[in-house]
Amino acid sequence: TDELCQAQESLMNSLPEYSNNRARKMTKAKFQASVSRFPCAEGPSSRECLGMHRCRMLPSWSTNREEILQLMPDFLELWWKRPIKLNTWGMLFPHQFGFYWFLRQLQPEVVIENGVRRGLTTWLIRQAVPDVKIFSFDPGLASFAGRKQKKHDVLLYYDPNATYYLGGSYRCGKEAEQRHLWPRGIKRFQDWSTCDWSWANKDKVLILFDDHMNIGERVAQMRKLGFIHALYDDNHPSGATNFATPHDACDFTNPRMYAHESETLTSSERLATYESLAAYWEFPPVLFHPVIAAAWINRFMRINDTLRNCILSELSPMPLIQTVGQLQQYNLTTIAFDEMAGYFWLVWLKIRSG
């Protein structure tokens, strides 16, 4: 609605512009220029959309915005103490809060973390569930095709009680420039699915996928090994990335016809992935409705305006914070705009047994 557009603009103008994350190059002026192309009061007609979001018909988490926001004060107290202030190419505020919220709700005994980066999510796991067993997997950014090769990746937060499986490009601690440091608990990288998990109570395990890998493969691995709960971090709309996301199994009757083609789901993989899901729920954005935040997605998507608008309007959970009063109530006015706009449909998946 027009009211939503006006409220979102007021919220945006209430925030500082940067979190010193200049690499993202997202200014309010660029944001507003892009948003003006997508009037949020006028969505596409249903016949302009290619299909339907099948996962919307699956069971979801039963809660409301007020219940979710009850944890915001606790999270903010932690967030200001976080050891890594600039989490470039990692989770930003909306997903950090969502991840924290899921951890507090599920209270897992084991967390399998796929995608470590600098270590901020490892720290967040430990704060949310202090006694949890953490297993962290990352081949290192130098292993990722299409990304500028780096000499090493620096682990800025190391949890001595976690078990790490890291690629050879990683360094740990202040001496990262001088030599490899392999503290106790760090092992050579192997995929999480190749480890022995027979000892684990699968009902009390949460798997985080922040690894940009094919969701069809990951869901098949979970079902084979008997795991139930997963969070998928970068759940971009179909066609927006070069890896298949949960949206690819849910969104359209003929996904992946728009942009990247390197990591597709075949028709049989889409069906198998969808039928493996017992429940699906996207954590809402904290502040910016995805339609309003169209600029944040544009850099990933090479499709025409009508189809982009269709995708955004079809996949748009309402934000948790909808007024400037709420923004002030929860003391969020000092968190930078570019930090708040980092939302990519964090989703909880419950996998069918058998």
Q: What is the pLDDT of residue 348?
A: 95
Single pTM value for the model: 0.82
Instruction: Measure the CA–CA gap between 169 and 116, rounded to whole angstroms.
Output: 13
Give one DSSP letter per residue of 174-225, joined into a string: TTTTT-----TTEEE---GGGS--TTS-GGGEEEEE-S---HHHHHHHHHHH
Instruction: Measure the CA–CA gap between 347 and 232, rounded to whole angstroms.
Output: 5
One-letter amino acid of 173:
G
Of 277, 296, 301, 274, the residue nearest 285 (C-alpha):
296
Longest distance between any two alpha carbons in the chain, whole Å: 59
242: buried, middle or exposed (CB in 10 Å: 19+, 13-18, 0-12)?
A: middle
Residue 153, SS3 per DSSP: strand
Q: What is the pLDDT of residue 96?
A: 95
Instruction: Measure the CA–CA gap between 234 and 211, rounded to whole angstroms.
Output: 8
Of 129, 135, 142, the residue nearest 170 (C-alpha):
142
Instruction: Measure the CA–CA gap between 338 and 341, rounded to whole angstroms.
Output: 5
Residue by residue, pLDDT tens for the chain (354 residues) are 455 566 666 776 777 665 554 444 455 555 555 445 444 444 434 434 444 567 877 888 878 888 999 999 999 999 999 988 888 778 889 999 999 999 999 999 999 999 998 889 999 999 999 999 999 999 875 443 334 445 446 778 888 899 998 876 555 544 433 334 455 567 888 999 999 999 999 999 999 999 888 899 999 999 999 999 999 998 877 666 778 888 888 865 444 444 444 456 777 888 888 899 999 998 988 886 655 554 444 444 444 555 555 555 555 677 888 778 888 888 888 887 777 777 888 999 999 987
Instruction: Measure the CA–CA gap between 156 and 82, rounded to whole angstroms.
Output: 11
Question: Quick one: angle between helices 120-128 and 93-106, nearest 10?
Answer: 40
Which residues, at least 6 apart from 178, have a Cβ–Cβ distance to it below 8 Å? none
Of 245, 235, 259, 181, the residue nearest 215 (C-alpha):
245
The position carrying tokens 């009063």 is 325
| 229-232 and 186-188 beta bridge pairing | unpaired
One-letter amino acid of 128:
A
| Helix or strand holding residue 311 (H, E) | helix 305-314
Query: Residue 80's CB: how many other CB atoms inside 10 A?
Result: 11
Residue 8, SS3 per DSSP: helix
Which DSSP category does 173 fall into? S
Q: Which residues of 194-207 are buried (b: 16+ CB within 10 A; e: fewer)?
A: ebeeeebebeebbb
Which DSSP category does 48 fall into? G
Q: What is the pLDDT of residue 39?
A: 44
Count of all residues that appear for the chain in the document: 354
